[in-house]
Amino acid sequence: MNEPGVQEFRRGLRAWLDDNDLSPGPDHSLDGQVAQLARVRRALYDAGWMRYGWPKEVAGLGGPAVLRAVLGEEVATRGLAEPGIYSMVEVLVPTMISYAPPELAAEMVPLLLGGREQWCQGFSEPGSGSDLASLTTRAVPRDGGWVVTGQKVWTSLAQYSQRCVLLTRTAPGHGGITAFFVDMDSPGITVRPLRTMHGVDEFAEVFFDEVAVPGDRMLGRPGDGWRLAMDLLPYERSTCFWHRIAHLYTRLDRLVAETEDPDDAALGEAYLGLHTARCRSHLTQRRLGEGGRLGPETSVDKVLLATAEQRLFDTARDLLPGVIELAESPWRAEFLYSRAATIYGGTAEIQRNIIARRLLDLGRD
C-alpha cells in the first residue's frame, strides 16, 4: 500500500486484524499487559501498519498522522492492548523526531514502534510535578559527556524500559533545563516500582547516582528542555486521547450490556460526556492534519476527557451495585484508575488555570 487514505487504511487494517488474531491471553497482570503490547506492536510493525503516519527518516511509511489515530482506535476497540501504555509512542516518538540528532532518532524509533523496546518519560520529581520548572535533577559536563544525579518519581513503566527521555537541570531557570535520552541500564540508575491504588506497579521512583550520559544523547541543545516539555504535552492530549476515548466507548457499551436496571438519564449523561470529548478530539485531529501547532487549547481536551472518564466510571459504580466496592473486578481497577485522570499529564486545577489565563485572558487571579 502506498500512502493510503483514511478509509482505505481502515478497511485494509480491519481485514488484516480479522485474519491475524492478536487478542490478549488470560494474563491481565502488568507484566502480561506489557508483553502483550510488545507482541501487538511487533506484529503491527512487521506488517507495516505501525509505520504509517510516521516519516521515512525514522523508517516510517509516511501518510497523514491521522492514520495513527485510526490504528490506535482499532487496537483499543478490539481490546488488543491497554490504551494508556499503547499510546506512549505518541508522546515519545514526536519528541525524538523533533529533538534527537537525526541518526539517533533513525536508530532508536524503530525499536520502540516495533515492540523491541519500551521507553519512559522522566519529568516529575518529588518536589516538582505541576511546578515542573523547579526540577533539580542535575546534569554537569564531564569528559565530553554529562553526569546526572537526582531523583524522578511517577515514571510510568520505568522498570520495563530500556531508555528514558529525561529532563535535567544544567543552569538556573526555565532556560536551564536540558533533556537527554538515557539508557536505563547505565551504571548508577536504580528503579523502585511504586504501587498505585488500583494495585498495579505502573510507575516507579528512579534514582540517578552519577550516571554518565554521552554528549550525543542530548535532545536539542543545552537549555531546550523546557521547550521540549511544552511541545510534548499537547501530544499527550491529541492522538493519545483519540485512542483513550475509543477505549472508553467499549466500557460504555459493556456497562449498557451489564446493567440490569438501566437508568437512561445516567447512561445518557455518560454518553454525552464521551461524545463531547470525542468531538473536541476530532477537532484537534483536524487541526493536526492541517499542520496546526497544538498549544494551551489542548487543556480543554484534557478537562473534557478527564471529566468524561470519571463520570463514566461513577455511572458504573451507581448502576452496578457492589461491583466496585465489594469485588476485585476489572470495573473496580478501572474505576480506581480513572481517579488519576485528573492528575497525570497535568492536573485538572492546572488545566483550568491555563484555560483561564491563556485562553480566556482572565488574569492571574
Q: How far is the CB of 300 from ligand FAD (least distance, A)?
A: 17
Asked if 124 is part of the footprint of ligand FAD (rule: CB under 6 A), the reply reads: yes
User: Near ligand FAD by CB under 6 A, which window of 11-19, 71-79, 139-147, 152-160?
Assistant: 152-160
Asked if 154 is part of the footprint of ligand FAD (rule: CB under 6 A), the reply reads: yes
Q: Site for ligand FAD (CB under 6 A): which residue of 9, 45, 119, 203?
A: 203
Query: How far is Cα 136 from Cα 132, in angstroms, rounded to an integer?
Result: 10
Q: Site for ligand FAD (CB under 6 A): which residue of 59, 104, 133, 343?
A: 343
- Beta strands per DSSP E along the chain: 119-122, 138-142, 145-156, 163-169, 177-183, 189-194, 203-213, 218-219
Burial 261-295 (b: 16+ CB within 10 A, else e): eeeeebbebbbebbeebbebbeebbeebeeeeebe
Query: How far is Cα 205 from Cα 125, in angstroms, rounded to an integer?
Result: 9
Catalytic position from the list 82, 117, 202, 236: 236
User: Near ligand FAD by CB under 6 A, which window of 221-229, 254-262, 272-280, 348-356?
Assistant: 348-356
Q: Site for ligand FAD (CB under 6 A): which residue of 353, 355, 356, 357?
A: 353
Q: How far is the CB of 95 from ligand FAD (least distance, A)?
A: 13
Query: Would strands 203-213 and 189-194 be described as parallel, antiparallel, or unpaired?
Result: antiparallel
139 phi and psi angles, rounded to 5 deg = -120, 130
Q: How far is the CB of 123 from ligand FAD (least distance, A)?
A: 3
Asked if 52 is part of the footprint of ligand FAD (rule: CB under 6 A), the reply reads: no
Query: Would strands 145-156 and 189-194 be described as parallel, antiparallel, or unpaired?
Result: unpaired
CA atoms within 13 A on the CB side of 102: 4
User: By rule CB under 6 A, what string of x and - marks binding of each residue 159-198 to ligand FAD?
Assistant: ----------------------------------------
Q: How far is the CB of 228 from ligand FAD (least distance, A)?
A: 13
Q: Site for ligand FAD (CB under 6 A): which residue of 95, 121, 285, 338?
A: 121
Secondary-structure percent of the chain, ordered helix, strand, coil, rounded to 5 = 55, 15, 30
What are the cell numbers at 327?
469485588
Asked if 294 is part of the footprint of ligand FAD (rule: CB under 6 A), the reply reads: no
Asked if 347 is part of the footprint of ligand FAD (rule: CB under 6 A), the reply reads: yes
Asked if 349 is part of the footprint of ligand FAD (rule: CB under 6 A), the reply reads: yes
Burial 185-212 (b: 16+ CB within 10 A, else e): eeeebebebeebeeebbbbbbbbbeebe
> Cβ atoms within 10 A of the Cβ of 144, count?
8
Q: Site for ligand FAD (CB under 6 A): which residue of 55, 133, 207, 344?
A: 344
Q: How far is the CB of 186 from ligand FAD (least distance, A)?
A: 18
What are the cell numbers at 302?
484534557
Query: How far is Cα 183 from Cα 199, in angstroms, rounded to an integer?
Result: 28
* Residues 17 and 74: beta-carbon distance below 8 Å: yes
> Cβ atoms within 10 A of the Cβ of 46, count?
12
Q: Site for ligand FAD (CB under 6 A): which residue of 130, 134, 136, 190?
A: 130
Asked if 123 is part of the footprint of ligand FAD (rule: CB under 6 A), the reply reads: yes
Complex with ligand FAD: residue 18 or 365, whichever CB lies closer: 365
DSSP run (H or E) holding 281: helix 264-289
Residues in the interface with ligand FAD (CB under 6 A) total: 19
Query: How far is Cα 166 from Cα 94, in angstroms, rounded to an integer?
Result: 15
Q: How far is the CB of 207 from ligand FAD (least distance, A)?
A: 14
The interface with ligand FAD within residues 302-341 (CB under 6 A) comprises 340
236 is catalytic: yes
Query: How far is Cα 138 from Cα 208, in angstroms, rounded to an integer?
Result: 9
Complex with ligand FAD: residue 196 or 259, whichever CB lies closer: 196
Known catalytic residues are 236
* Contact residues for ligand FAD, defined by CB under 6 A: 120-124, 129-130, 154-156, 203, 340, 343-344, 346-347, 349-350, 353
